[in-house]
């Protein structure tokens, strides 16, 4: 009898576990928000029938509701919410069961807008997905990832995808506000006309406060500052944003500062992006370092990147060191192309000069129109340190018949180590 019972349990337990999992999944529910309903209901149906099950009507209705892991909150397509309230996402999903905020119905994505000096969306939970929503004409930040200052329990696993953020009046379109967050993704979104930057991830008061981010497939343009910023903390300036940032397949242009600004951090991959500007108001397509306290930028790879500068004052890649000692190591610029009216790929220094270690520039094409405009330099590649490895690149002559390498203030032989003129 005991043996039979053991055999029964052996075969039954997997089915019990599956049944338990399926039961857990059925607890997830769909909720709806429709601004056109005459009176708000409990949000459990998508049609306005003037009964208790009608959709939510306002942002306040959504903020007051209780949601569980796996729930979906759908905003009616083509509707616009102008309430003077922040959509506060303060409840968490779980692994594989995020709480998702999106849209239902056909037509344009729903719009959240306000003019009452409040952020459009604030997240205070984890395992959250925000998708298919427009944030238009707000007077503050578009989305802020805010963990109420508790770095011991950071927000994590937040996905923002297929969003449109346009004309927000203060701060960045998406920002962590120097709060501790990790495993954040910004995907396939469009960000334009911001009062500050596009996507801004800043270090906080603790080491590695923000890490494991993915920024991919976005179009960011006409922002007043950096399109993508990985930054130090302001409350503790030597605290870097953290490590493992992946920036790939984005189109970043017409930024008031730099399309990509990597002030500090490590294990960063920048791949398959296109960056350009047509004005001289910013420093470089990619700026690395350049802060007022000793940062660390290490293990950075830029690969398959298209630099399409359209102004002679623009550098393609700049190690923009400050007047303080900096340490930058293991930088790789690989299989990328620089063309247009940009100045050069430059590793520049400040008064004290940076500490470069292991710089590799391999298999790139430098095709810049006129390197002689800025600082009377005719170099396509200008490095202020001899510990720079430059191999198998193609240098295309400019209109002034210039091309070449300048390493540590001395003309280098561009036709060795596999480098070629063209």
Give the CATH number of the domain where residue 129 resides: 2.160.20.10
Q: By mean pLDDT, which of 95-99, 124-128, 312-316 is the weakest?
A: 312-316
Strand ranges in 110-179 using DSSP code E only, listed in sequence order: 111-112, 121-123, 128-131, 134-136, 143-145, 155-161, 164-166, 174-175
Average pLDDT of the chain is 77
* Inside any domain, residue 17: no
What tokens appear for 42 in the block? 């409990």
* Inside any domain, residue 127: yes
Residue pLDDT, tens place only, 105-125: 999 999 999 767 788 999 989
| Cα Dmax for the chain | 95
Total structural domains in the chain?
1
- 198 close to 168: Cβ distance less than 8 angstroms: no
* Inside any domain, residue 259: yes
Site of tokens 């959509």: 87
* Inside any domain, residue 75: yes
* Inside any domain, residue 1: no
**What integer pLDDT is reported at residue 64 of this predicted model?**
96
Residue 410's domain comprises 61-421
- 302 close to 317: Cβ distance less than 8 angstroms: yes
Residue pLDDT, tens place only, 360-373: 888 888 776 554 33
Question: pTM value?
Answer: 0.85
Residue 62 confidence (pLDDT) above 80 = yes
Residue of higher predicted confidence among 245 and 346: 245
* Inside any domain, residue 6: no
* Inside any domain, residue 320: yes
* Inside any domain, residue 18: no
- 350 close to 379: Cβ distance less than 8 angstroms: no
* Nearest-angstrom CA–CA distance, 275 and 280: 14
Residue 323 confidence (pLDDT) above 50 = no
| Residue 414 CB neighbour total at 10 angstroms | 21
What average pLDDT does range 87-91 have in this prediction?
Answer: 93
């Amino acid at each position: 009898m005991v043996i039979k019972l053991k055999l029964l349990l052996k075969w039954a337990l997997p089915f019990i576990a599956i049944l338990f999992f399926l039961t857990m999944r059925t607890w997830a529910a769909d909720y709806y928000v429709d601004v056109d309903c005459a009176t708000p209901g409990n949000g459990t149906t998508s049609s306005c029938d003037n009964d208790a099950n009608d959709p939510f009507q306002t942002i306040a209705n959504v903020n007051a509701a209780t949601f569980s892991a796996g729930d979906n909150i759908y905003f009616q397509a083509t509707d616009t919410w102008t309430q003077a309230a922040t959509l506060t996402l303060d409840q968490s999903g779980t692994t594989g069961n995020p709480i998702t905020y999106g849209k239902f119905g056909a037509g344009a994505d729903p719009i959240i807008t306000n003019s009452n000096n409040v952020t459009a969306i604030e997240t205070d939970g984890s395992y959250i997905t925000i998708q298919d929503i427009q944030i238009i004409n707000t007077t503050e930040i578009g989305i802020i990832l805010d963990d109420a200052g508790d770095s011991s329990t950071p927000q994590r696993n937040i996905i923002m995808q297929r969003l449109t953020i346009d004309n927000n009046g203060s701060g960045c379109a998406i920002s962590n506000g120097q709060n501790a967050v990790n495993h954040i993704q910004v995907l396939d979104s469009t960000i334009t006309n911001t009062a500050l930057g596009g996507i801004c991830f800043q270090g906080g008061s603790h080491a590695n406060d923000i890490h494991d981010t993915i920024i991919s497939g976005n179009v960011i343009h006409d922002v007043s500052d950096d399109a993508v910023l990985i930054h130090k903390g302001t409350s503790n300036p030597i605290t870097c944003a953290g490590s493992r940032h992946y920036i790939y397949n984005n189109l970043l242009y017409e930024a008031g500062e730099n399309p990509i600004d990597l002030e500090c951090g490590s294990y960063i991959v920048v791949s398959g992006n296109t960056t350009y500007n047509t004005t001289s108001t910013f420093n470089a397509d990619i700026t690395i370092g350049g802060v007022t306290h000793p940062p660390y930028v290490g293990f950075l790879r830029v690969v398959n990147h298209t630099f399409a500068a359209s102004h002679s004052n623009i550098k393609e890649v700049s190690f923009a060191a400050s007047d303080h000692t900096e340490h930058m190591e293991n930088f790789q610029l690989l299989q990328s192309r620089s063309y247009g009216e940009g100045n050069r790929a430059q590793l520049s220094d400040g008064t004290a000069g940076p500490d470069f270690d292991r710089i590799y520039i391999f298999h790139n094409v430098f095709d810049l129109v006129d390197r002689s405009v800025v600082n009377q330099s005719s170099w396509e590649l200008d490095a202020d340190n001899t510990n720079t490895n430059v191999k198998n690149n193609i240098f295309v002559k400019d209109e002034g018949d210039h091309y070449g390498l300048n390493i540590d203030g001395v003309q280098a032989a561009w036709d060795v180590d596999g480098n070629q003129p063209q």
